[in-house]
Structure 1
Amino acid sequence: MARATTESRTRLSFRHRIEDRASAAVVGAAKLLPYERRVPAMGWFARTILGPLALNRRTRANLKHVYPDMPPAEIRRICRDVADNFGRSLIEINSGREFAERVTHLTPTGPGLMALERAHAEGRPVILVSAHFGNYDAWRANLSQRGFRVGGLYMPMTNPATNRRYVATIESIASPLFPRGAEGMADMIRFLKSGGMLGLLGDHYMANGELIDFLGKPARTATSAAKMAMKYKALLVPLYATRSPDGLSFTIEIEAPIPHTDPLTMTRALNDSASARVRAHPGQWFWLHRRWKRAEPDLRGDQRGDKSPSNSPTETA
């Protein structure tokens, strides 16, 4: 009901229809291929066509902000990898149940797995925090198939037609889902208090967030995950799905729960965790976001002209 209310407030314009049909055509054409071919094909499309047209500029700007002395050849390599992972993630998410079935056999590793199992047995709430890294829906699908109650918070798209298709697809991967904003908040809190595991992505720019270092640069970061963990006595657990060299499978790693101290210290730990993953695999993080917007003067001019893809599969956890 919350989703329908959100969509009813946004008028479906002619531009929305054209954008939706174009994206649906690309995804539909890719889905004619067998799964093992469609994923690398979409990686190629994003790497060679979409990247130069729409993705690489934002990646280059963010890389230069974080690594001002990075050699041009390395910047080009990371741009290619980021676009490739974007394309693969896009078609994986749009493959719905087929994608979910591909990741069910994966065995998560890391010290946090036992903590999740214990919390599940005890009915204790858990807040799972990841980043726009690898494919975050891989761990969401995997944990759901393992019997954990994993809910996800998502950002509704501005295009109502595309949003309807998008939500239906990610619901087929795992559910429940809660739209970001007041409409989904009440249901999300009830789910968490009932002992559910709530998945979030913690690397968004938040206008009213605290300035906390991310990759060594101050970035406006929400402390809400830590605040909820403390308020509802929930575990706060970082986790990631790293794409394997074959480009099709993933390694799911669940880190140890972050101790409850105070929201700022806990959020710093989350940012440090995500930063370590990005440093280890820079091509797997979505450098496409305006992560350092209004935090550093040298980015402001470029950020105002951001043209990030409107159909980016980057808002769900």
Structure 2
Amino acid sequence: MASNPEARPFDKVQDAAIRALLGLVLALPYRTRVRLMGWTCAHILGPIAGWRKRVRANLALACPDLPDAEVERLARAVPNNVGRTLIEIYSGAEFKDHVLGTPLSGPGLAPFREARAQGRPVVLITGHLGNFDSLRAALTAEGHVIAGLYRRMRNTAFNEHYVAALSAIGEPLFASDRAGVAGFVRHLAKGGIVGILTDVYSSKGADVTFFGQPAPTATSACEWAVKYDALVVPCYGLRKPDGLTFDIRLQEPIPLGDPVAMTQTINDGLEALVRDHMEQWFWIHRRWKPWRKRRGKKARSAA
């Protein structure tokens, strides 16, 4: 795929370096590349990108009583999982083949299958835990059509091939702009399945918490579910101890009701899983942003 001509010069240089690294790693056998990319992000890219520093800062806020030795372990283990996830996504068809046949489990599986048999719309809620695309790959292999929503990256050159990689796992995909969100919601309204990551900071999000800290979160997914009577199922692809296979769980569905209360329930459920799998959550992203002023304390976020 050709580089985006509108990309800034620095973006093009950064993108060229990323493409070169990905090209080298993707030339390796699947299992070798996943392990190598994990190690590279843990020991080389993570420190350069400041990921270790951010992991420590987030843990200091969310888990201040965590022993220093555990903090340092996570400062390496978290980037390892991030690297594995990135190269798995870029592996496209090979990743799908690797996930194929992974058994689905959890109390939400039967309600999900029942909803699909009835033609009822479904909102699959997930977070940056394990590999969040393993479930999409597994369900797509079963014949389900899952619409995804993504945020455009500031590096437009990188964004172009990253979206192409996501599309290889499953389509349709919609950008989180006005037109994209409209298409995403139409897919749900017609009785389809949508998947969305909700564990991101939203400056106009609801006043909910995550790890006991204020974590403004968009309630849009829950609002859409209420509007269209969709089944809401939190689901996660947890990485097994071998680092290569997954435990794909569909959690207990979230009862429809107040979208803010639903969002807090989702946050609480994710937190419980993260506490059991600390190294698998993306502690590298800015989930809380305590230094930012809210644009509207009780405002809810448009997607």
Please report the TM-score for the alignment, with normalisation by the length of structure 1.
0.89
Is 1:233 the counterpart of 2:229? The answer is yes
List runs of 5+ in structure 2 lacking aligned partners.
293-303
Q: How does 1:72-221 map to 2 (within 5 A)?
A: 72-221=68-217
- Structure 2 CA distance for aligned equivalents of residues 114 and 148 of structure 1: 15
Preserved contact between residue 110 and residue 256 of structure 1 (Cα < 8 Å): yes
AA partner of residue 104 (structure 1) = L
Q: Which residue of 2 aligns with 1:32?
A: 27
CA contact (8 A) 1:226 1:263 kept: yes
- Identify which of 2, 10, 16 aligns with 2:11: 16
Residue 61 (structure 1) aligns with = 57
From 245, 249, 252, give the equivalent of 1:253.
249
Shift of 1:60: 0.5
SS at match of 1:236: strand
* Alpha-carbon distance between aligned partners in 2 of 1:185 and 1:86, rounded to the nearest angstrom: 26
Match of 1:308 in 2: none
| Code of the aligned partner of 1:13 | R
Moved more, 209-218 or 84-93: 209-218
SS in 1 for 2:194: strand
Between the two proteins, the alignment pairs up a number of residues equal to 290
Task: Give the Cα separation in 1 of the matches to 2:182 and 2:46.
Answer: 38
Distance, in Å, in 2 between the alignment partners of 1:202 and 1:280 is 19
CA deviation vs aligned residue, 1:220-268 (integer Å, no higher than 9, x gap): 1111111111011111110000001111100000012101121111111
| % identical equivalent positions | 46
SS where residue 127 of structure 1 aligns?
strand
2:39 corresponding residue in structure 1: 44
* Structure 1 residue aligned with 2:218: 222
Return the alpha-carbon distance in structure 1 between the equivalents of residues 156 and 41 of structure 2: 24
Judge which range, 49-58 or 200-209, deviates more. Answer: 49-58
State whether residues 123 and 194 of structure 1, in contact with CA within 8 Å, keep that contact through their aligned partners in structure 2: no
User: Do the aligned partners of 2:149 and 2:181 also contact (CA within 8 Å) in 1?
Assistant: no
1:267 is matched with 263
Given residue 27 of structure 1, which amino acid in structure 2 is its aligned partner?
A: L
RMSD of aligned Cα (Å): 1.6
8 Å contact from structure 1 (residues 78, 282) kept in 2 = yes
1:120·1:148 contact (CA, 8 Å) conserved in 2?
A: no
- Secondary structure at 2:89 match in 1: helix
Aligned residue type for 2:8: S
Deviation (angstroms), 1:215: 1.3
Q: After superposition, where does 1:273-284 map in structure 2 within 5 Å? A: 273-284=269-280
Residue identity opposite 1:171 in structure 2: S
Given the two structures, how large is their TM-score scaled by the length of structure 2? 0.93
Contact 2:41–2:80 (CA under 8 A) maintained in structure 1: yes
Could you list the structure 1 runs, at least 4 aligned residues long, displaced by more than 6 angstroms after superposition.
Answer: none
